[in-house]
Structure formats: structure tokens, C-alpha cells
Amino acid sequence: MGSGKHKPRQNPKPNAKLLRPKKPKSKFKKKTKSNNNPQNDTNEIKTKNKTTTGTGNNNDNPPVSTSQQLGYFVSQFQSANGVKLSSLELESIKDSYILDVSEELGQDVMRLEKHIREAFAARWKEELCEGKLIEGKIEAGSPAVLVVATSALRSIELLRGMRSLTKECRAVKLFSKHMKIDEQVSLLKHRVNIASGTPTRIKKLIDIEALGLSRLSVILLDIHTDVKGYSLLTLPQVRDEFWDLYKNYFHQQVVQGDLRICLYGPIPNGHEFKGQSVELVGDREQLD
């Protein structure tokens, strides 16, 4: 028999299986963002957005010389029309016939008027701002600057960049979207310094002698690409309409040195035009 004293009851050891196992330490260190290396941020942006567009500076499209711009324009002309300019014609088209705006990498539309003013030098107020006709010198419906774009929306956007030049003499919109040709003919019976429109409507108004070319000094060609990678010089059908307009009414003036060309937009590097012409069939109405 014992002494009567009971030993205190010991709690049983807990079952190891009932305990939550400790989370094993990861073999890989958790990556933390660091601003010490800006290249990391650049790579991340490039992964998310393969192609970005904007109105600011873009180092992917550095400035090109006037000779390069002219070379691009001539190559597009020859390619689209299946012709080769003679050596005499090529010699007559000089780099000075290109109005250079390439130093504005983003080519912000709000800076457009600065370049247009510079093209006319000391005569810019007289040529671009005055609103009265001058007999024998300033004919009705004959602009000094003509903007050619792929669509009505682009035509309007480019005119916004020259708003301060058109306070005394309003710019004329030359496209078919929401505008009847009779209305445009009426507007062209007054003095016009700046006009903007699409190739088809511009040519039609010249054909019926409503739009004059006696004062024309600069044609601004909007070669910015759309979301599908097309521009005025590459968009099927619109491209053909533009070259038809150019050959009939502008080329001879350029060759003679009476007309300057402004290529407003980055010169493509040969890899930017990826669209399919069949996708644009439904856009035909708004591009006229």
C-alpha cells in the first residue's frame, strides 16, 4: 500500500500532428521595387505597352534632315504612282522646298502656328491674318496655306493649332462630313488665308474652280499615323486620292519652286505600317 499521497497528474504531450506546421522559409528573396535603377521601370513599361503614342517628345523618332524628308516624299510619290522622276525633275526639287518642323519631335499641334509664321517671315501678318480682298493681288477663295489630312477630325484638330492666325480671317473646312459643297463654295467667295480638308473634297472644289491656288505657298501634309498604322501617304484609296490631287495641281508648282511642302509627322522607319486595307472599308465615308 502506498503512503496515500497522489502524484500530480501530468498533462499528456500534445499530438504533433495536431499542431499547425510552420511555414517553410522561401528559398527566394522577395523582390522589392527600387528606384535606383530606372532601367527596371523602363522595361516594365515596355512590357505592358509595346507601342505608345503621344504629343510629347519621342526619342524613337529623332529629327531628320530636310534632304531625308524630301527623299521620303519622293520615294512615296514614285512608289504610289509607279513612275520614276527624271534626273532633271529631281535636280529641280531642292531641300529648301521642305518646310522643316522635325525639331519638334512630338510635333505638338499647338506649336504649329509658330512654324507657319516662320515660313512667311516678315509677311506673316499680311498673308495669314488680314481679312480683306485686294484687287489684283488677293483673290477670293485662294488660301496661302492648305492643310491636307485623312479625316475631318484631323483637319479640325490641325486648324486648332493655328487658331490665333484665323481671328480676323476664318479658316475654311474642306471636307464632306456634315458640310455641303454649296456651303463651302459660298465661304470661298471671300478671302481665305488658311484652309484644311481631305483630298477628295479639296480636288472637287479645285475642279469646279471654287478653290483657287494663285496664292498657295505651303501645303501641310498630315502624315501622323492612325491607330491602325496608316497615314495620308499609306492609307489605301485616300493615298490614291491624295496623289491624284498632288499630280494634277501641286507637283508642277513644287518643281518650279513656287510651293513648299511641310511633312507634319514622324518619318516612318519602314516597320510602322501594319494595317490591312480590308479593315478600312467601313471608314470610307468619314475620310472623304
Domain map of the chain by residue range?
Answer: 68-102+139-268
Region of poorest pLDDT, from 29-33, 172-176, 195-199: 29-33
DSSP 8-class letter at 198: -
Q: What is the pLDDT of residue 59?
A: 43
Burial class (CB in 10 A: 0-12, 13-18, 19+), 182: exposed
pLDDT tens digits, one per residue of 233-286: 999 889 999 999 999 999 999 988 899 999 988 886 543 333 332 222 233 333
Selection from 240, 237, 259, 234 nearest residue 249 by Cα: 259
Cα 26 to its chain centre, rounded Å, is 51
Residue 47 has pLDDT above 50, yes or no: no
> Domain 68-102+139-268: what homologous superfamily?
P-loop containing nucleotide triphosphate hydrolases (3.40.50.300)
Contacts of 283 (CB under 8 A, 6+ apart): none
The residue-averaged pLDDT of 163-168 equals 88
Distances (CA, A) of 171 to 21, 56, 228: 78, 26, 29
